[in-house]
Chain A
C-alpha cells in the first residue's frame, strides 16, 4: 500500500464530515425541526458524535484514497473504481458509526438490553446507509476533482507551480 497525499485525505475526510452534518442541519431547518432535534443533544454528546464521525471519515477516506495520485490526465484511480471503494468503505464506516454511537448511548443510559438490539439490525441498516452515502460523497468528490482539473488544466511541459 502506497502512502496517499495526507492533505488530500484530510481535506476529503473533513469535507465529508462537515457536509454530512451541515446538510443534515440545512434539511432539518427547512423542516423547522433543527431546534427540537439538536436541543435534545447535550453539548458534550454532540461534540463526541461529531469527532467520532470525523475519525471514521478519515479512516475510510485513507483507505479509499490509499493509492490516489495526481497525474497530467487528472486523477488516479479511475472514477468507477473510486466509487466502488467509496461505497464499500462507506458501508464499513456507516456500520461502525451506528455500532459505536448506538452502543455508547445505550451504555450511558444503562440500557444493556438495547445494546444487544443496537448491534444487530441497526448496524446492518447503518452499513446500507453508509454505502449509499459513501457512493454519493464519492461521486461529489469525483465531480469536484474533474471540475478543478477542467478549470486549471496541467501545463503541456515542465512548469513551475
Chain B
C-alpha cells in the first residue's frame, strides 16, 4: 500500500513539474510577444528560468522513478511503447540543449553592460519560449500516450 502511494506521489510530482514547465513557457511566449516593456519581459524570464530548471530536475528525477516502478516490465525498444519512450527521451535531450541556449539569451538580455545586450531581445525571447512550448507540448503528448494508450 505504501509503495502504491509512493508511486502515485512520484507520478503527481512528474505531472506537476510538466505543467509548470509548459504553462510557464506558454505564458512567457504570450507575454513576450505582446509586451512593449522589454525590461519587464526580461525580469519575468529570469524568474521563470529559475523555476524552469528546478522543475526540470523534478521531472527528470520522477521520470526515472516512473521507469524504475515498471522494472523488468518496461517494454523493449522493439515495441510501439518502447519506440514512443525513445522519441520522448530524444525530445527531452533536445529540450535540455535548447533550454540552456535560451537561458543564456536571458542572461545576456539582462547583462549590466549595455553594449553586450542584444537588440530585439524581447522578440528573440518570444520565439525561444514559443519553441520551448512547442517541444514541451510534444513531450506531454508523448507522455499522455505512454500513460494511457496501449501501444504494443
Contact digits for B81-124, partner A, Cβ 8 Å, 1 yes 0 no: 01001100110110011011111111111110111111111101
Q: A35-B73, A38-B67 are in contact. Are A29 and B82 (CB under 8 A)?
A: yes
**Which residues of A are found within 8 Å of B76, using beta-carbon distances?**
32
Q: A31 to chain B: closest CB distance in Å?
A: 9
Complex CA distance for A141 and B104, rounded to whole angstroms: 10
- Does A5 interact with chain B (Cβ within 8 Å)? yes
By DSSP majority rule, is chain A's interface helix, strand, loop, or mixed?
helix
Using C-beta atoms within 8 Å of the partner chain, give the interface range for chain A.
35 or more
Complex CA distance for A145 and B102, rounded to whole angstroms: 10
- Does A121 interact with chain B (Cβ within 8 Å)? no
By DSSP majority rule, is chain B's interface helix, strand, loop, or mixed?
helix
For B114, the closest partner residue in chain A by CB is A158
In chain A, residues 123-153, which have Cβ atoms closer than 8 Å to a Cβ of chain B?
Answer: 140-141, 144-145, 147-149, 151-153
Complex CA distance for A26 and B88, rounded to whole angstroms: 10
**Which residues of B are found within 8 Å of A36, using beta-carbon distances?**
71-72
**Which residues of B are found within 8 Å of A38, using beta-carbon distances?**
64-65, 67-68, 71
- Does A10 interact with chain B (Cβ within 8 Å)? yes
**Which residues of B are found within 8 Å of A12, using beta-carbon distances?**
100
**Which residues of A are found within 8 Å of B61, using beta-carbon distances?**
21, 46-47, 50-51
Pairwise interchain contact B68-A39, C-beta atoms closer than 8 A: yes
**Which residues of A are found within 8 Å of B104, using beta-carbon distances?**
8, 11, 144-145, 148
29 contacts between A and B (CB under 8 A): A5-B107, A7-B50, A7-B106, A11-B100, A11-B104, A15-B56, A21-B64, A32-B77, A34-B67, A35-B67, A35-B72, A38-B68, A43-B6, A43-B10, A43-B69, A70-B108, A70-B116, A144-B100, A145-B104, A152-B105, A152-B124, A153-B118, A154-B116, A154-B119, A157-B115, A158-B115, A159-B114, A160-B119, A161-B41
Chain B contacts to A: CB under 8 angstroms: 6, 10, 38-39, 41-42, 46, 49-50, 53-54, 56-57, 60-61, 63-65, 67-74, 76-77, 82, 85-86, 89-90, 92-93, 96-97, 99-111, 113-122, 124
